[in-house]
Amino acid sequence: MRPFMISVFAASLLVAASPAQAKLAVAADITAAAERDNGKINLRWEGLLAPVRVYRLPSADAPLRSGSPVGTVKTGNSLAVTVPAGDRPYYLLRDVLGNDVRVAERLLPLEGGSNFRDLGGYRGAGGRPVRWGQLYRSAVMSGLTPADFTTLARLGIRTVCDFRATGERTRDVVNWPAASAPKLLVRDYELDMRPMMAVFAGGTQVTPEQARGAMAGFYRELPFQFAGQYKAMFAELLAGAAPLAFNCSAGKDRTGMAAVLILLALGVDKEAAIGDFLLSNRYYRPAAPKPGAAADPTMAMFARLPPGVAQAFLGVDRSYIYAALAEIEARGGLDRYFAAEMGLGPAERARLQNLYLQR
């Protein structure tokens, strides 16, 4: 199995240096990572002082006292833990000074999932990490298997915001089991690709630079074109209707924009939010059409393009999200956007942070 690596940025923790210096504190940035490879999760960390004790938690927010000891690392900064297939564990790492960090895999181990990721662990407002197991982003979920639905039911996903257009949802239906079906938020519309596809109108060979420029143009309108759906998603989050997942077809553009907005609303640093956005280049792979299913005409067109041009459309680029954020700034800034477009004033953003950052 190809290893999957995540980097999780925990809070800056204030730790008393010694009893004699009880009023002094040292800021320690702790990083941790979880990588699944051949039935094991390899845990690695920086900033923790050995010995480091590793605990498995029964849930993402469970207190340490309910955890099960996994091992103690007296030297080094890694530990390999055997896990069953389909298992999605949470861990707490604690060092000799009492510093700790929670960590899990970012990509969920789903048989038929695509780009299904947890937004937990990023450092938000006040240095508090985003809670694991509450906010999920994904590509289309029509390939999920019965085992996958069982996994998601165990995670307790209550709400799914499906940003796909009417035709996309009709072509790739998600058959949620009745016993564990979440609340679904959808909106009927047809996705107009003509502005982005205008780059092909000249009849000449399109370059990767031109393709990236077309995508950046699409992204400039994305926060406003889909503002209604993003606002509905934030309303669910404000109501506490989590764990919540949101998706589009590839889980990288409409979904990527939504993830950046959530992380920024939670006080996550812009570059950290963009780093999560860029992970789609690693985790998203277009799925082959199911036997007998109608081919997606857009994906069929992309398959005929030169590799550099296809990657510009099928991947993500820093310039795309920069274009979206620059347009938000040009129209009054992020605070105005959150307040006017998303219904998120200071009080609502504070509530989001209280709900979805570690306490």
Taking the model in full, what pTM does it have? 0.88
What is the location of CATH 2.60.40.10 in the chain? 4-104
In 3D space, the residue among 249, 251, 258 whose CA is nearest the CA of residue 228 turns out to be 258
State the DSSP H helix or E strand holding residue 244, giving kind and residue range, or none if neither.
strand 244-247
Number of H helices, E strands in the chain: 13, 14
- Is 50 exceeded by the pLDDT of residue 22? no
Paired tokens of 176: 């949620």
In 3D space, the residue among 260, 264, 262, 268 whose CA is nearest the CA of residue 11 turns out to be 268
More confident residue, 172 or 192: 172
Q: What is the pLDDT of residue 10?
A: 35
* Range with lowest mean pLDDT among 12-21, 53-62, 78-87: 12-21
Q: What is the mean pLDDT of residues 81-86?
A: 89
Q: What is the pLDDT of residue 13?
A: 32
What is the location of CATH 3.90.190.10 in the chain? 117-356
User: Which letter does DSSP use for residue 207 in this model?
Assistant: P
Whether the CB-CB separation of 74 and 51 falls below 8 Å is answered with yes
Q: What is the pLDDT of residue 295?
A: 64
Q: What is the mean pLDDT of residues 54-65?
A: 96
Domain 4-104 is of which CATH architecture?
A: Sandwich (2.60)
Burial class (CB in 10 A: 0-12, 13-18, 19+), 195: exposed
In 3D space, the residue among 3, 6, 5, 27 whose CA is nearest the CA of residue 15 turns out to be 27
Share of the chain above pLDDT 90, in %: 77
Pairing of the two strands 244-247 and 135-138: parallel
- Is 80 exceeded by the pLDDT of residue 328? yes
Average pLDDT, rounded, for the chain:
88
- DSSP letter for each residue of 122-166: -B-GGGPBBPTTSEEEES--TT--HHHHHHHHHHT--EEEE---H
Dump pLDDT digits (tens) for 28-49: 488 898 989 989 999 999 999 9
Q: What is the pLDDT of residue 28?
A: 41
Paired tokens of 117: 């990721």
Dump pLDDT digits (tens) for 237-252: 999 999 999 999 999 9
Neighbouring-strand partners of residue 42: 35, 80
- Is 80 exceeded by the pLDDT of residue 204? no
Q: Please state which CATH class domain 117-356 belongs to.
A: alpha beta
- Is 90 exceeded by the pLDDT of residue 304? no
Neighbouring-strand partners of residue 184: 160
In 3D space, the residue among 1, 170, 15, 206 whose CA is nearest the CA of residue 96 turns out to be 15
- Is 90 exceeded by the pLDDT of residue 21? no
- DSSP letter for each residue of 256-319: HHHHHHHHHHTT--HHHHHHHHHTHHHH--PPPPPTTPPPPHHHHHHHTS-HHHHHHHHS--HH
Q: What CA–CA distance (Å, rounded) separates 241 from 236? A: 5
More confident residue, 289 or 22: 289
Q: What is the mean pLDDT of residues 270-292?
A: 87
Alpha carbon distance, N-terminus to C-terminus of the chain: 35
Q: What is the mean pLDDT of residues 168-189?
A: 96
- Is 80 exceeded by the pLDDT of residue 292? no
